Amino acid sequence: MKKITILALHLGYGGIEKSISALANMLCDTYDVEIVSSYKLYDQPVFDLNPKVKVKYLITKYQPNREAWKNSIKKVKPIVFLKESKNSIMTLLLRRRTMIKTIKQCDSDIIISTRDLFNKWLGKYGKKKTLKIGWEHNHHHGDVSYANKVASSSENLNVLVLVSDSLRAFYKKKMKNSKCHCVYIPNVIEDLPKKTSSLKKHRIISVGRLAREKGYSDLLDVMKLVHQERPDWTLDIIGDGAQKNLLGDRIFNENMNDYITLHGYQKKEYINRLLQESSIYVMSSFTESFGIVLLEAMSFGIPVIAFDSAEGATELIKNDYNGYLIPNRDKEKMKEQIIALIDEEDKRKKIGQNGRTTSMNFTADIVKKEWLKLLKKGR
Is the pTM of the predicted complex or chain greater than 0.75? yes
pLDDT at 318: 96
Domains observed in the chain: 3-188+363-377 (3.40.50.2000), 203-361 (3.40.50.2000)
Residue 82, pLDDT > 80, answer no
Region of poorest pLDDT, from 89-98, 223-232, 244-253 = 89-98
Residues 196-207 have a mean pLDDT of: 97
Rounded to an integer, what distance in angstroms lies between the CA atom of residue 333 and that of residue 315? 20
Residue 260, pLDDT > 90, answer yes
Residues 156-168 have a mean pLDDT of: 94
pLDDT at 182: 97
pLDDT at 327: 97
Burial code (b: 16+ CB inside 10 Å, e: under 16) for 28-45 equals beebbbbbbbbbbbeeeb
pLDDT at 88: 76
Between these two residues, 289 and 36, which has the higher pLDDT value? 36
* Per-residue pLDDT tens over the stretch 88-121: 788 889 999 999 999 999 999 999 999 999 999 9
pLDDT at 379: 59
pLDDT at 255: 96
pLDDT at 338: 98
Residue 268, pLDDT > 60, answer yes
Residue 68, pLDDT > 60, answer no
Long-range CB pairs of 99-107, under 8 A, 24+ apart, other chains included? 99/7, 99/36, 99/38, 99/58, 100/125, 102/7, 102/36, 102/56, 102/58, 103/7, 106/5, 106/36, 106/130, 107/3
Residues 240-249 have a mean pLDDT of: 93
Between these two residues, 231 and 268, which has the higher pLDDT value? 231
Residues 36-57 have a mean pLDDT of: 94
Phi, psi (rounded to 5 degrees) for 292 = -60, -30
For 327, other C-beta atoms within 10 Å of its C-beta total 10
Kindly indicate the confidence band of residue 81, based on its pLDDT and cuts at 50, 70 and 90.
low
Residues 67-85 have a mean pLDDT of: 57
Percent of the chain scoring above 70 in pLDDT: 93
Kindly indicate the confidence band of residue 65, based on its pLDDT and cuts at 50, 70 and 90.
very low
CA distances from 76 to 50, 64, 69, 70, 81 (A): 46, 20, 11, 10, 8
Query: Taking all residues of the chain, what is their mean pLDDT, rounded to a whole number?
Result: 92
pLDDT at 141: 82
Q: Among candidates 211, 201, 210, 358, which has minimal Cα distance to 294?
A: 358
Rounded to an integer, what distance in angstroms lies between the CA atom of residue 208 and that of residue 206? 7
Residues 189-216 have a mean pLDDT of: 94
pLDDT at 83: 61
Strand partners, 37: 8, 57
Residue 63, pLDDT > 80, answer no
Residue 190, pLDDT > 90, answer no
Residues 61-67 have a mean pLDDT of: 62
pLDDT at 10: 95
